[in-house]
Every structure is written in structure tokens, then in C-alpha cells.
A and B are shown apart, each in its own frame.
Chain A
Amino acid sequence: MNGEDIKTYFKEIFAQVAPEVTFEKIDMNMPLREQIEIDSLDFYKIVVALQKKTNVYISDSQLANFKSLNELIKFILSQSPQDLPLNLSSSGK
């Protein structure tokens, strides 16, 4: 799993959770909520879906520290190998 894989996951998740958002227009280095209108339920669904895809747990207190999607991607990549996804083969990658 690399950064591009996780970006693809994000794209798939956004297509389900917030289909009105054009993912390509999101600046990966800017705070998400300053760019698009998502509420706490959307955010919850995104986090749950991301955990299911990557098998990496991200706590709410950690989430509060991330300033952008790129920071979040770096965090996921920093997790130990045993936390890597079990379902990569089904992700199309």
C-alpha cells in the first residue's frame, strides 16, 4: 500500500459518502472542511470506511490533529506492516 493506493481509497469512499464532491478538486494539502461541505455524519462514514479499507485505526483525538488529507495519508503509511490491509486483493490494486 502506498500513498496513491490510499488516495484511490479516498476517491472511492467520497464517491459513496459525498457523491456531490468532485474529488479531483480537493487540495490534498488544505483542511478538508475548508474546501467542501461535509457534516459529522459524512466524516464518520469516511473514517469508518477508511479503517475498513486499510485496517488502520485512527482515533478521534488523532483525527483532530490532521490538517489535510496528505497528513492523514502519511499517518496511515507510518503504521506498522502488521496493520496493513487484509483486503488489498479485493481493492482492485
Chain B
Amino acid sequence: MNYNLPMPSLGADMDEGKIVEWKIKTGDSVKKNQIIASVETTKSVIDIESFREGVVMNLLKSVGDVVHVGETIAIFDILGEEILDQKEQRIKVSPAAKKMCEDNHIDFKQMIGTGKEGEITLQDVENKLQSTKVEKIFSGKNLRQAIASLMSRSKKEVPHYYLKKRIHLDLLMKWQDETNRNVDPSRRLLTPVLLMKAVINSLKKYPEMNGIYKDENFAFSTNIHLGFAIAFKEGGVLVPAILDADAMSILELNAAVLDLITRARDGHLKSRELSEGTFTITNIGDLGSDEVFGIIFPPQVALIGIGHIRKEPIIDSQDLVRAGFVVDITLSADHRVSDGILGAKFLNEIDKNLNSPSSLG
């Protein structure tokens, strides 16, 4: 059975998109979530994924074509369509989720439930709403305006508190040197990745920092989708997330960071990466600033700032002064969800991880 694949909306302000590249051709089998094309919107290029499985019958648009949202760009032969039709008849959706869908004009038949036996839950709908909001922000016609709007909202709505901790890094740098010396140069571990890994490990112990705040409630996230701020040379910042960063080894995380930065620059971020972050790290140290007190990226509830790694005088356990590597790590957190005591413990846990570097591997 044929399925007309429409140009998707990658944000409420998107009226049209330009096809930059097809990743499929006629006759290809397409799996669910497979990247099928790159589409240029007003601000960036985004890879679009297929939400159906099937075989490509025809590509109706060519590279360079500008296509209105909703217009058919390809035709798929959907495998097992009759079965799908029957399945759609008995989609399970909780009453609360159904009401929220109705209130927000969402077609729940287009959603995938994560509840028991595939039931669409309230959380699924909230995730969908969150995703739509962030996509809207990202695809706005002026990234500067989008940043202004989001950051203003955060400072207005979120009662931030801030903490700073200076962490000694001599052990970490020594461990990194020993590790990098013995691997192929292309597998060198980046210093910020080691800090990220320490934060991820600490988030597992302090889940109050990882999740989203919505409707006066905080929802923990069982996964850590680690957002990190990427600045562009031409100006502006995006915060894509490494999805399921908690399941990655240090080497996998290193590769994922390099991949994400490269794709952000090339305009090949996926929409999920821009909408599902549960925690953010911002690293200002590259530019020499010693500390950054960041603004929380709503609806997240905390952010870690990394300053410049540098040598400073350190008083050791013998009260002797020596030169050692230090970094100032800052925490910006939402006081509606956590208190300073918890924040301080969280920073202590990061310190502990960074000073037990072999546990990062």
C-alpha cells in the first residue's frame, strides 16, 4: 500500500524546506528512524528521519527543490499496511494523555506509546510537547532572537542558585596523558570529555539534577541526554544533546562529542538531539575565562559550567605551595527542585570522580 511522505514540519515557524540531499533512492528498503534526507530550513540543515518502514517507490522532489510543509516528497510502499491499519484501530492511550492531546491539538494516532503494551502515557504527550517547543525555538528565523527569548524566560521563571568549586586536576591530567600516549592519535581523549564523564557519573547519584520541570512538577529522566553548548564562529549557540550518554564508555562519549560538534557545524543535527536534552554543560574554558555562571536551559533544571583549565598555586597536604592544574566548575540549579546543600554534594561528587580518573574509563 502506498504512503505519501510529506515534507515534515521541523518547527512551528517552518513554512517550507529545501531538499539538500536524498539519503535514499528508488527501490531502497527504509527502516523506521532511518535518515532519509537533509532539509535546509531558515536557519540550519536538519536530517529528517522516516517514521514508517517500507520500500521507496518514487522520489518526487529533486535536490535543490523548495517544498512546502505537508507537500508529498516521496512515495513509499508500506509493508504490512493492513496490519498497521488494524493496529491503529486499537491504539491504547490513557485518559489523561488523551485529554492533553485534545487540549494541544495533537493526533495521538501519530504517536508511539512507551507505556504498558504500547499505551500512550501522559509523559509521552509531555515529551511530544517539549520536543515541539524546542524545535520551534531552534528553527526560528533569527537564532539570536530565539536565544534571547529562551534565556529571558529562564531568568524570569527559574529561581537560579549558583555554586562554584575549584577542582584540582593533576591526577586527571596525568591519567589522560598516560592514556592518550598509548592510543592512536585519532582516539585521543579530549579534556572536556573527561569532565563530561565525571558529570554523567555524578548525575547517576544525584538524579534531582537530571530531568525537566513542567507544570510545577519535576520529572526525573531515567536516561541522561547530555546537552552541551556549541558556539558558532558566525555567532549564536545551539545546545544539542548526546542521547543516552549514561550508557556510553569514555571512548564512545569522546567519539560522540566529536561527531556531534562536526554535525552541528555541517548542519546535520537530528531533531531529537535538539529537543530531548535533560542536562546541559557549557565549556567557556577554551577562550580563557576562568568561570561561567550559566543560565539554565528550560525546561531542564541544572547546568554545569566549565572554566579555563590552568596552573595555579596549590597548597598541598604538607602545607607546601606548588603549581598544579585546576578548573573552576560552577553549578546553576533550579531552586524549585533542589537546594544548595544538594548542589554542593553534587559538585563534591564531580570532584571525587575527577580525582579517581581510572573510574571514568
Interface residues in chain A, defined as those with a beta carbon under 8 Å from any beta carbon in chain B: 33, 37, 39-41, 43-44, 47-48, 51-52, 57, 59-61, 64
CA distance A51 to B176 in the complex (A): 16
- From residue B312, how far is it (CB to closest CB) to chain A in Å? 12
B310 in complex: contacting residue of A39, A40, A47, A64, CB < 8 Å: A64
B258 within 8 A of A: yes
A60 & B173 in contact (Cβ 8 Å cutoff): yes
A60 near B286 with CB under 8 A, answer no
- Decide if B258 touches A41 in the complex (CB within 8 Å): yes
- Chain B residue with minimal CB distance to A31? B288
Least CB distance, A88 to chain B, in whole angstroms? 17
Number of A-B contacts (CB under 8 A): 47
Write the nearest CB–CB distance from A13 to chain B, whole angstroms.
Answer: 12
Known: A44-B258, A47-B188, A60-B176. 11 other contacts (CB 8 A): A39-B231, A41-B265, A43-B286, A51-B185, A51-B188, A57-B180, A57-B181, A59-B180, A59-B181, A61-B176, A64-B310
Query: Are A39 and B233 within 8 A (Cβ)?
Result: yes
Instruction: State whether B261 touches A41 (Cβ < 8 A).
Output: yes
Chain B positions near chain A (C-beta within 8 angstroms): 173, 176-177, 180-181, 185-186, 188, 190-192, 231, 233, 258, 261-262, 265, 283, 286-288, 309-311, 325
Residue on A with the closest CB to B325?
A61
The B interface is mostly helix, strand or loop, or mixed, namely helix
A64 proximity list for chain B (CB < 8 A)? 309-311, 325
Hey, which chain B residues are within 8 Å of A33, CB to CB?
A: 287-288
For the complex, give the distance between the alpha carbons of A61 and B176 in Å.
Answer: 9
> Does B262 contact A44, Cβ atoms closer than 8 Å?
no
The 8 Å CB contact of B190, one of A44, A52, A57, A61, is A44
CB distance from B190 to the nearest CB of A (A): 6
User: With A and B bound together, what is the CA distance between A8 and B209 in angstroms?
Assistant: 48
A40 to B262, CA, bound (A): 11
> Distance in Å from the Cβ of B285 to the closest Cβ of chain A?
9
Nearest B residue to A47, CB-CB? B188
- Give bound CA distance, A59 to B169, whole Å: 14
Q: Are A40 and B190 in contact (CB under 8 A)?
A: yes
Q: Across the interface, which residues of A come within 8 angstroms of B176, CB to CB?
A: 59-61
Query: Is the Cβ of B233 less than 8 Å from the Cβ of A37?
Result: yes
Task: With A48-B185, A52-B185 as known contacts, state yes or no: A39 contacts B286, CB within 8 Å.
Answer: yes
Chain B's closest residue to A48 (CB) is B185
Bound CA span A59–B176, Å = 8
Whole-angstrom distance between the alpha carbons of A39 and B262 in the complex?
A: 12
Best-buried of A37, A43, A64 by chain B (most CB within 10 Å): A64
Q: A59-B176, A61-B177 are in contact. Are A41 and B185 (CB under 8 A)?
A: no
- Beyond A59-B177, A59-B181, A64-B310, is A40–B188 a contact (Cβ under 8 Å)? no
CA–CA, A49 and B331, complex, Å: 35
Q: Which residues of B contact A41 (CB under 8 A)?
A: 258, 261-262, 265
A-B contact pairs, 11 of them (CB 8 A): A37-B233, A43-B286, A44-B188, A44-B190, A47-B185, A48-B185, A48-B186, A59-B180, A61-B177, A61-B325, A64-B311
